[in-house]
Amino acid sequence: MYDVIVIGSGFGGAITGCRLAEKGLKVLILERGQWWDKNTYPRKPGDAWIWNNDNPEKMHGWLDMRRFPHMAVAQGAGVGGGSLIYANISCNAPQNAFNYGWPAAITYNGLLPYYDRVAKFMNVQKVPANQWNPRMKLMQEGATKAGFGDRFGQLELAVSFDPNLNYNFDNPPSETNSKEFTNAQGVKQGTCAHLGQCDIGCPVYAKNTLDKNYIPWAQKKGAEVRELSLVSNIEPIANGYKIYYSDLKAQSMDRTETATRVIVASGSLGSTELLLRCKNATKTLPNISGALGQGWSSNGDFLTPAFYFGRTINPDRGPTISTSINFLDGVQNGQKFWIEDGGIPNLFSGYYKDISARLAQDPNQHSLFEGLQAANIIQHLINLSTSLDLFKNIMPWFAQGVDASDAQLLLDQKGKLDMKWDITKSLPMFNEIASMHKKLSDATSGHPIPNPAWNNSHDLITPHPLGGCRMADSATDGVVNDKGEVFGYKNLFVADGAIIPHALGVNPSRTIGALAERIAELMQ
Ligand SMILES: Cc1cc2nc3c(=O)[nH]c(=O)nc-3n(C[C@H](O)[C@H](O)[C@H](O)COP(=O)(O)OP(=O)(O)OC[C@H]3O[C@@H](n4cnc5c(N)ncnc54)[C@H](O)[C@@H]3O)c2cc1C
């Protein structure tokens, strides 16, 4: 029997698992995804891109994309959770995010030491002054020209930089610009070479991901990490809980383990889905609060790509995001949000290289292009697209904001996770962001590219799901207390984005990490 089983190895799971192992507890971390490294990161067609929740035995890839009516959610799957795929922004939530909706014991000032602990362990840094990329300069120019220069700032990133690197963004980046070093947890990494691949796995390990810090440290302190272990049920037993999981590697669906304490840290969707199943389907945890699934938020994510004729932006070079223009004080018609620069890994170049190589071997490889027979036409398109460099002139204006946080997660009749999302109350905030994106691109002679998914049906996609098992002072208002313990179930905890009671309006990982640090510290 373990002292603690942690379900999931993202910000909530890795951090609680690590700190509890440091306390000398016997910890097991069960993670549905695999360990990833530079030899396995997906790059080409046919690689393990997709986590398919309907068929995880066969498809347990990099990205879990869930589609609900008018809202899609992107999440990482792997040892390290969302840190593997994320854009490295590590920031505190604004102080005013704590003015409502939290248990009384959770305050901004009270969380500060935990925020600092996460920032230190993740070794956060800003892009050195000599390595600003064109997007950062465009952000600053847009802010200044639109009259918001004092709201522009650099963000802290969980990335390791070499301050002595002098990289010219007109040149393609090269891995040879990275310098190897050993981090504070004894793990080998490399410095950032501005390869622009943060979201698909950094080939030089410049990202300070959880599998490079908290997780190896947890292992050094005795924690066991089991990859490809998909948990399906939690059942109370005499001295704790029994966990049911599938071993996806061995294709064995009936594994169990027991522990005196369980920490559910499967992310906003994952933890809520698992607990909904335990409450309503297997009925092993029937007394979980009726607030389960309520108050879900997209964290107001919104993207407006803009085209810049004759101006080189190269969003496929440099860290994915590095700067913000901050309107979180509500100065824009009461709506709280911030604007960020966005980056896009140039997947097409990898695709083109792969397709070109395969075509060179066999020009008649029709199987590469289902339904298309003329390989020479495809080759021509590939040459054309590569030479045009589709990405060169696009600025992805990105943002997060404080939405109404009023969506609901639930199980449908087939037992699959579903969402009721209604944009009505959040629409003024999204419109304010869209209008600011236009203002900033107008000020810099950019041309916003119409987005039919937004213009026609207000369809959105978020990488920042929050809520579903929110913290509160009572079971009437939430699912867990300020220490992450589930109301009505002693020694059962939730510690991840699911417990955040409403939108933060900024990238949430450091807040999730700070709450996880606090939960682990206060756990008896
Ligand atoms: C493309 C992208 C970019 C992002 N950029 C940023 C950024 O720059 N800054 C920022 O702060 N945030 C960013 N985020 C969001 C950030 O990744 C999440 O907020 C964060 O990872 C959430 O932490 P968590 O602990 O709640 O869940 P996760 O990190 O998602 O961890 C949950 C873990 O549980 C596992 N799991 C799920 N279900 C089960 C199960 N049943 N059994 C076992 N394991 C399970 C998952 O595989 C996953 O590893 C980004 C996200 C994406 C997708």
Q: Tell me the per-residue pLDDT of 125-167, one tens digit each, with 9 for 90 and over.
A: 999 999 999 999 999 999 999 999 999 999 999 999 999 999 9
Amino acid 347: pLDDT: 76
Q: Which atom of ligand 1 is nearest to the CA of 506?
A: 11
Q: Which atom of ligand 1 is nearest to the CA of 509?
A: 11
First to last CA, the chain: 17
Q: Which atom of ligand 1 is nearest to the CA of 8?
A: 34
What is the number of structural domains in the chain? 1
The best mutation among 30, 509, 515 to test binding of ligand 1, ranked by most ligand atoms within 8 Å of the C-beta, falls on 509
Ligand 1 centroid to 224 CA: how many Å?
20
The best mutation among 9, 75, 461 to test binding of ligand 1, ranked by most ligand atoms within 8 Å of the C-beta, falls on 75
**Residue with CA at minimum distance from ligand 1 atom 23:** 11
Q: Which residue ranges have their beta carbon within 6 Å of ligand 1?
A: 7-13, 30-33, 74-78, 81-82, 85-89, 199, 230-231, 265-268, 270, 274, 321, 463-464, 496-497, 507-509, 512
- DSSP string across 308-323: -TT----TTSS-S--E
Ligand 1 centroid to 177 CA: how many Å?
29
Ligand 1 centroid to 309 CA: how many Å?
36
**Residue with CA at minimum distance from ligand 1 atom 21:** 82
Amino acid 354: pLDDT: 61
Amino acid 391: pLDDT: 75
Rounded to 5°, the CA angle 358-364-370 comes to 85
Long-range contacts of 420-426 (CB under 8 A, 24+ apart): 421/68, 421/69, 421/70, 421/71, 421/296, 421/298, 423/70, 423/458, 423/460, 426/298, 426/300
Ligand 1 centroid to 10 CA: how many Å?
5
Q: Which atom of ligand 1 is nearest to the CA of 232?
A: 41
Ligand 1 centroid to 61 CA: how many Å?
14
Spell out a b/e string for 335-362, using b for 16 or more CB atoms within 10 Å of the CB, else e. Answer: bbbbbbbbbbbbbbbbebebbeebbeee
Ligand 1 centroid to 314 CA: how many Å?
27
Ligand 1 centroid to 363 CA: how many Å?
41
Do 83 and 210 contact (CB within 8 A), yes or no? yes
**Residue with CA at minimum distance from ligand 1 atom 3:** 86
Which range of residues forms the domain containing residue 167? Answer: 2-522
Q: Which atom of ligand 1 is nearest to the CA of 80?
A: 49
Amino acid 371: pLDDT: 39
What count of other Cβ atoms lies within 10 Å of the Cβ of residue 195? 22
Amino acid 370: pLDDT: 42
Ligand 1 centroid to 60 CA: how many Å?
15
Tokens of 446: 């950019």
Alpha helix stretches (DSSP H) within 444-523: 452-457, 509-522
The best mutation among 5, 11, 92, 518 to test binding of ligand 1, ranked by most ligand atoms within 8 Å of the C-beta, falls on 11
How far is it, in rounded angstroms, from Cα 3 to Cα 255? 18
Q: Which residues lie across from 175 on neighbouring strands?
A: none
Q: Which atom of ligand 1 is nearest to the CA of 84?
A: 17
Write the CB contacts of 419 (distance below 8 Å, at least 6 apart in sequence): 68, 69, 71, 296, 407, 408, 409, 410
- Classified as helix, coil or strand, 285 is coil
The best mutation among 35, 63, 282, 464 to test binding of ligand 1, ranked by most ligand atoms within 8 Å of the C-beta, falls on 464
Q: Which atom of ligand 1 is nearest to the CA of 33?
A: 47
Ligand 1 centroid to 75 CA: how many Å?
5
Predicted structure pTM score: 0.94
SS (H, E, C) 287-299: CCCCCCCCCEECC
Ligand 1 centroid to 77 CA: how many Å?
7
The best mutation among 31, 32, 83, 86 to test binding of ligand 1, ranked by most ligand atoms within 8 Å of the C-beta, falls on 86
Q: Which atom of ligand 1 is nearest to the CA of 14?
A: 25
Ligand 1 centroid to 388 CA: how many Å?
35
Q: Which atom of ligand 1 is nearest to the CA of 88?
A: 8
Per-run averaged pLDDT (10 residues), the chain, 524 residues: 98 98 98 97 93 94 97 97 98 98 98 98 98 97 98 98 95 96 98 96 98 98 98 97 96 94 98 98 98 98 95 94 98 98 78 60 52 46 54 93 98 96 98 98 95 93 98 98 98 98 98 98 94
Q: What is the domain-level CATH number for residue 452?
A: 3.50.50.60
Do 382 and 283 contact (CB within 8 A), yes or no? no
